[in-house]
Amino acid sequence: MDEYLQCALEIVKAQATARPMTEDEIVSMVNSIAKGIAALSTGQIATSDADATASAMDPKKAIKESSVTCLECGKSFKVITKKHLASHGLTPEEYKEKYGYKKSQGLACKSLTRARRTKMKDMKLWERRTKDKAE
């Protein structure tokens, strides 16, 4: 098991350099990858821990500060796109309904949503429209 853990640590280390990860994400990813490698090496067909984790995850906790976890497959993203949901045979509306999100809820991480909101406030598009109409 020690060699499986070492392999899992290397994989997660590479993933952590590619995107920011919380301590909980790192620990759970190391555990799930080590179990998956062990199951594959012993010839067992590994049931996807990501699917089990995703289905067990509370939808309210799926949208985090720096990532959003797809509740269908357990993968983390900055934004869950229509294209990704289509790979599960869902539309964004169906996904939101299935997991109890409001229709107006965005499927982006909190930091990205906040940055977009700030940028829109700074652009003040509503003032530009009123100036254009007045002229």
pLDDT in tens, 16-39: 888 888 888 888 888 888 888 887
Provide the domain limits for residue 82: 50-135
**Is 73 in contact with 54 (CB distance < 8 Å)?**
yes
Same domain, 42 and 59: no
Same domain, 54 and 29: no
Count of domains observed in the chain: 2
Same domain, 75 and 17: no
Same domain, 96 and 128: yes
Same domain, 28 and 58: no
H or E segment to which residue 19 belongs: none
User: Per-residue pLDDT tens for 64-77?
Assistant: 999 999 999 889 99
pTM for this entry? 0.54
